[in-house]
Structure 1
């Protein structure tokens, strides 16, 4: 018997990615609303309450509203918006973040997908904070670039229909991005990192970098020590992997089209400086792939079913 899934917002960028990953699976049954009733509030409420699992691919306010429409205790929710990422009562849907995180997801009724940028940042930083290599009050910076699909349909249209001819654009220069509280909370930090996001002229892909002055940190941890902590943290993961050696270059498209994430420990051992780099697909492990992974875990299925690794 298959589990029923309703994607609220299935026509959006993330919704389409999730639907593609679930298509053709015999263990999942996708529920849809007939086109003639798509704007019917009663039909939407009915679907939200009939499904075993609901995946919300909506703007934040609409996601909050959708949750209030579910009036039973059976339907379980995965929210792909940023509405509930630091909200009480919601389990953070990053299965590799802590030793018991997958178990917490499996038992949850409300799971919030991580943001695409926080996914790379947390994968690099959280194990180091947990191990004591990076103090919780250390001033951190994170520089990141995403494919323009991360901005949804409006940004896709801007880049593909002549709205802009830029190759690279930095934004959120006022340092008040909504991802900052999520990064701070789930990394276990005392202060928010300086978050410097940007968008590049490529449809999908993401590169997130955390530079570290290891020589100035308590205990002056080495590059090898950092690599050892990250390798141990993800030793059993089929989704997060550690890159081999120190590559000459790392591209934003390195994991585009995949649902995995790759972490690199680069730097100069003589100067005690490090560049920690995560590559992922902003639509994969950063969005749709993560939602499907969480769905699989909640439903007791193979966590990587339907994913491209």
Structure 2
């Protein structure tokens, strides 16, 4: 019989925390340590639960996440941090299991795992294999954009959208180009510098589409969209949660709805091209609260506990 692992979600009342709890609640191999709602700000009670846990999952703002890590005074409790605080910090393992060969094993053997941001995963999945294979120069000047459900903007944005009489159907943000995800985009894609990143939110709760446009004649002369597709398909062959869809010469694709994979832990990559072979577009489709946040955290938890990576998760 599998020993029940004790899991404490510090910040379980937030969007990410609630979805992690929902994914774990029905599992008989997990014991959730629940804090009394009246003691959520009680430092002593949080410290007790953090140190009682086999794995603590932090769903907190950056400074609060750093505080929680500091409250752990044993060498047994492992941590998954869903904040930005430790994503490029020394000693922390980046929690995108499909990012590179050996990454899942690194997560499994780590005591400190930084859960990825939602936006970076689409970019990393699309670009890193191309850089590693030498098909795309590390100094390529890329752009990256897309649309996410408003849940990706945190509690304040959720409240604003849900209370608005006439919410914006499409709201660009990050227009100062200083988005908090840029450091991990640069580090884990292998690019020398992060792309010019311009996100937006739409009037829907969750789901996302992310786009990497490539002017092949400028960034990688001689590279073809078909070569990009074939390399990505080979790289992710056999993966449970990252899928490369067929290479199709289409004008539009009705399945490219940002909500299409909601509730799953799947990330799909599409590659499109112009007839002349000079333009390509890589599109990543996934749930910003699934593979982009809570699903990724549960996948990382499974790896750290030695459970099947897909336990408690739904592929599409």
TM-score (norm 1): 0.97
- Whether 1:291 and 2:297 are equivalent positions in the alignment is yes
- Whether 1:303 and 2:309 are equivalent positions in the alignment is yes
Distance in 2 between the 1:132 and 1:160 partners?
45
Q: Deviations over 1:257-288 (max 9, x none)?
A: 21110000011141410010001100000000
The match for 1:18 is: 20
Identify unmatched segments of 5+ residues in structure 1.
none
The answer to whether the 8 A contact 1:258-1:281 is kept is yes
CA shift, 1:35, in A, is 3.1
Cα distance change, pair 233–17 in 1 and its aligned pair in 2 (3 A):
same
The answer to whether the 8 A contact 1:204-1:257 is kept is no
User: What is the aligned length?
Assistant: 309
- Whether 1:44 and 2:46 are equivalent positions in the alignment is yes
The answer to whether the 8 A contact 2:225-2:277 is kept is no
The match for 1:56 is: 58
**1:1-309 to 2 correspondence within 5 Å?**
1-162=3-164, 165-246=167-248, 248-249=252-253, 250-309=256-315
Choose 126-135 or 160-169, whichever is displaced more: 160-169
Cα distance change, pair 40–163 in 1 and its aligned pair in 2 (3 A):
farther
CA shift, 1:217, in A, is 3.5
C-alpha RMSD of the superposition? 1.2
CA shift, 1:197, in A, is 0.6
CA shift, 1:34, in A, is 2.4
Cα distance change, pair 163–157 in 1 and its aligned pair in 2 (3 A):
farther
CA shift, 1:33, in A, is 1.5
SS at 1:203 equivalent: coil
CA shift, 1:23, in A, is 1.1
Runs of 4+ in 1 over 4 A off after TM superposition: none
Q: Deviations over 1:157-204 (max 9, x none)?
A: 111111652110111111111111110000111112100111111100
SS at 1:78 equivalent: strand
The answer to whether the 8 A contact 1:95-1:101 is kept is yes
Distance in 2 between the 1:276 and 1:107 partners?
32
Identify unmatched segments of 5+ residues in structure 2.
none
Choose 292-301 or 174-183, whichever is displaced more: 174-183
TM-score (norm 2): 0.95
